[in-house]
Amino acid sequence: MSKKKQKIAGKDAITRRDAINRVSTGNRIAMRNTKYLTYALLAILVLLVIFIRLKLDGIPMERDEGIYAYGGRMILDGKVPYLDFYEQKFPGLFYSYAAIIAIFGRTLEGIHHGFTFLNVVTIVMLFFVGRRLFNDFTGVIVAATFALISLTPYASGFTRQSEHILVFFATAAILSTLKALDTNRLLWFVLAGVMACLSLLVKTNGVFYIIMLGLSMVIYYALIKPIDWKKLLLNIGTYSVAVFATFGLMCLFMAAQGALGEMWYFAVEFPRTYLSAVPFDVGMSFLQQFGGKVVNGYLPFWIIAACGVFLLFFTKENLHKKIWMPIWAALAFMTVTPGFRFYGHYWLMVMPVLAVLVGAAFYGLQSLLKGRGKMLATLIPALIFGLIFIQNIASHSSYYFYPNYENIIRDTYGMNPFPEAKVIGDKLKPMAKKGDKILLFGSEPQLYIYTGMDAPNRHAYFTHLVSDATKTRANDWQKEYIDNLNTEKPRFIVIFQNQVSLGVKPNANRAILDFIGNYLNNDYQKIGNVDILGRDNTLYNWDIQQVQTYKPRSSSFIDIFELK
């Protein structure tokens, strides 16, 4: 080749190299800008969620969150689960509430701030789940979807319910699993197992997340040809050992406190009466009734999630992810099925997977549109999701930005005396002195949080005392309860004449209902009564003279007594 041609060829090579470098640099800049944009959107989303949730920080508790928070407070006061208080849950629930209360405070608002923090962290983790599964765009979709659906009013999205804690641990387990499969590091498999087990120790429904992630690992390794049996057994074995080791450590911890036997009864044996109480046909009517209310107002997300179960099969995405989606959907739904009650707050456990499925649907749409250009493939799904997001914000604007606490509670829980319990608690709190106890004749343990007072004995949740005596230890509990009250009189007694609050089950020992009337005798003076006349009409009476002669006008009323 002549020197002239060599020179021209050299120049052409330099030109091509410069062009490649410019394209590569342009791609890097575009990727960096995309990353900055997604982080900016995530930050805006987080700020929006904090703004909305802080407006709900004074909303009254319902009874479940009340008893769980009380258990957490008791732990901080040196009490032992199942011996000094009890509820039909594993101890992870009580210790989780204890951690939240220790950090954020014992007040209603402080506990709410703790749950806001959990929700925000869950949103951020789901962003990384969506990004690791698919791409940055999907990460934003998943996070934004969960941010809204986890606020669903009828799913008790505004509450401090245990499901929010379960979802936090389950999401951490999902993210750790994806990280483990990508990096093949045993530490991540250990973390996945620990987080998954913690979701179980908060609420037994977490077992379905344990199964979901274990199956996901098996599918992932089974589709790699040839199958690396050593890696499959080592990594899945590590995950399994981490799950069982975490559970075992909790058992050892409870055994060291002398409470292992009681823990097993309350967390495993006692709940069997709850699980077997609802017939299948009644459960299906509950599914239609409660499930329909949960979906109401958030229907587009549920429809798109249903599409996300299968849409990946029409893309070139990895096969294991295509198989994961329907399995994740099925096992997430299983979390709400035990007991066939399908209560609103149960559906919170579905929502991390629901958000991922929405992300999968939009990622599938994005993949199908790539033939029309990369920008259009992102712009069209982004516009569709943006419209859905804005429509949801607009349709729920009063709930998100101008919440009326009593309306929200009534819409969600009907005529349960939750607003009234808050008013009573606010009235009694300034009257309470250190060491005072309060007896709640009815299942409204949130009053322990409002007043700062403890129950006079370990039977803080009245509904267990009037459970089916043929299937539980209710007879023994009533005897223990009565014996304790005969030796120590609490300063305040609040009696709820409300059938749901009392929660008397068929075959309950009704002796306790007769006991309270005799117990009051001449030792207590009625200091207030509350008559719930209608949805927006509650009569509060604190005049000492008037309350003695007041005749309730409704079948749902509350009497408050003080030791003379």
Q: Does residue 32 surpass a pLDDT of 50?
A: yes
* pLDDT at 309 (0 to 100): 94
Residue 518's CB is within 10 A of a number of other CB atoms, namely 7
Where does the pLDDT of residue 23 fall: very low under 50, low under 70, confident under 90, or very high at 90 and above? very low
- 409 and 420 in contact (C-beta within 8 Å)? no
Q: Residue 425: which residues within 8 A CB-CB, separation 6 or more? A: 446, 447, 449, 450, 451
C-alpha distances in angstroms, 435 versus 70, 123, 444, 452, 462? Answer: 16, 40, 20, 10, 21
Rounded to two decimals, the pTM is 0.92
Task: Please tell me the predicted confidence (pLDDT) of residue 12.
Answer: 57
Tell me the percentage of the chain whose pLDDT exceeds 90: 83
Please report the pLDDT score of residue 29 as a whole number.
60
Which pLDDT does position 18 carry in this prediction? 54
Q: Tell me: cis bond preceding 490? Omega within 30 of 0 counts.
A: no
Cα(299)–Cα(286) distance, integer angstroms: 18
Q: Average model confidence (pLDDT) for the chain?
A: 92
Residue 14 has pLDDT above 80, yes or no: no
Residue among 557, 483, 556 nearest 519 (CA):
483
Grade residue 372 by pLDDT with cuts at 50, 70 and 90. Answer: confident
| Between 447 and 280, residue with greater pLDDT | 447
At 15 the pLDDT is 56
Helix, strand, or coil (residue 437): strand
| CA 108 to each of CA 105, 132, 162, 392: distance values in angstroms, whole numbers, following the listed order | 8, 36, 15, 28
**157-189 burial: b if 16+ Cβ within 10 Å, else e:** bbbbbbbbbbbbbbbbbbbbbbbbbeeeeeebb
Q: CA 449 to CA 61: how far, in whole Å?
A: 9
Instruction: Output the CA angle 171-175-181, nearest 5 degrees.
Output: 145
Q: Which residue has the higher pLDDT, 30 or 374?
A: 374
As a dihedral over the C-alpha atoms of residue 178, residue 181, residue 182, residue 187, rounded to 10 degrees, the angle is 90
Pure H helices in 134-228: 136-149, 162-183, 186-202, 207-222
Per-residue pLDDT tens digits for 199-221: 999 999 999 999 999 999 999 99
pLDDT of 72 reads 97
Question: Which tens digits make up the pLDDT trace of 259-298?
Answer: 999 999 999 999 888 777 788 899 999 999 999 999 999 9
pLDDT at 8: 55
